[in-house]
Structure 1
Amino acid sequence: MGMMLAQPDIDESVGTRGEESPLRPWQTVVWNDPVNLMSYVAHVFREYFGFERSHAERLMLAVHHDGHAIVAEGAREQMELHAQAMHDYGLWATIRQAPQ
């Protein structure tokens, strides 16, 4: 009996840690790659997101020097659309939930 009671607690605990928090936004992250030129990455950020040149270049330099940059934050569905758009431009992008 004790074993049966313990199992749901373990499952519930694991499920809770893995669940998405509705309070935390999602992020689109663009990662560095060996293919795309820095000027092209900045161009994509300006063209797709409409960023000013200085902001696009700051993000591009973060990708280049830090290996990645958060380019957008918001609802998961929108971040998925942004990541797909980055893929369409040939960039490597993922989404993740913002850290707590």
Structure 2
Amino acid sequence: MGKTRVSPTPGTAAESKTEIQPPSMYKVVLLNDDYTPMDFVVEVLQRFFRMDLEKATQVMLAVHYDGKGICGVYTADIAETKVDQVNHYARKHEHPLLCTMEQA
């Protein structure tokens, strides 16, 4: 009698050896405008990104002089949440500060 070869069942570990990929990462970015006070930007960076005063000031100056500053790099869900929180907080305080996210 001949030997019978058993194929792995679809969807089992024996069938596929896919590697687990790390999640896509996104930069949370503050954009410069001509109206939001610098101290408010520093406050946002400390409140939502847990930066100390020195780091928050560095990022605020990047926003001011370069047009944008990176607040941090996060997974999509966390980045979206941070963007929403910052934009809501800025509107609540009547500032046009805009926070966005872009793929890292």
Instruction: Please confirm whether the aligned pair reaches a TM-score higher than 0.5, indicating the same fold.
Output: yes
SS of 2:28 mapped into structure 1: strand
1:22, CA displacement in angstroms? 5.8
Match 1:96 to one of 90, 98, 102: 102
Gaps of 5+ in 2: 1-20, 91-96
For 2:25 and 2:43, locate their aligned partners in 1 and report how far apart those are by CA, in whole Å.
Answer: 26
What residue is the counterpart of 1:76 in the other structure? 76
1:25, CA displacement in angstroms? 1.4
Identical-residue share of aligned pairs (%): 29
Q: TM-score, normalised by structure 2?
A: 0.68
For 2:84 and 2:30, locate their aligned partners in 1 and report how far apart those are by CA, in whole Å.
Answer: 11
SS of 2:79 mapped into structure 1: helix
For 1:96 and 1:47, locate their aligned partners in 2 and report how far apart those are by CA, in whole Å.
Answer: 21
Moved over 4 A (4+): 21-24
Listed one character per residue, the Cα deviations across residues 1-32 of structure 1 (whole Å, up to 9, x for unaligned) are: xxxxxxxxxxxxxxxxxxxx966411111100
What residue is the counterpart of 2:86 in the other structure? 86
Listed one character per residue, the Cα deviations across residues 42-83 of structure 1 (whole Å, up to 9, x for unaligned) are: 011112222100000000000000000110102011101111
One-letter amino acid of the structure 2 residue matched with residue 51 of structure 1 = M
Q: TM-score, normalised by structure 1?
A: 0.71
Larger Rg: 2
For 1:58 and 1:84, locate their aligned partners in 2 and report how far apart those are by CA, in whole Å.
Answer: 23
SS of 1:89 mapped into structure 2: helix
Over the residues paired in the alignment, what is the CA RMSD in angstroms?
Answer: 1.6
What residue is the counterpart of 2:63 in the other structure? 63
Gaps of 5+ in 1: 1-20
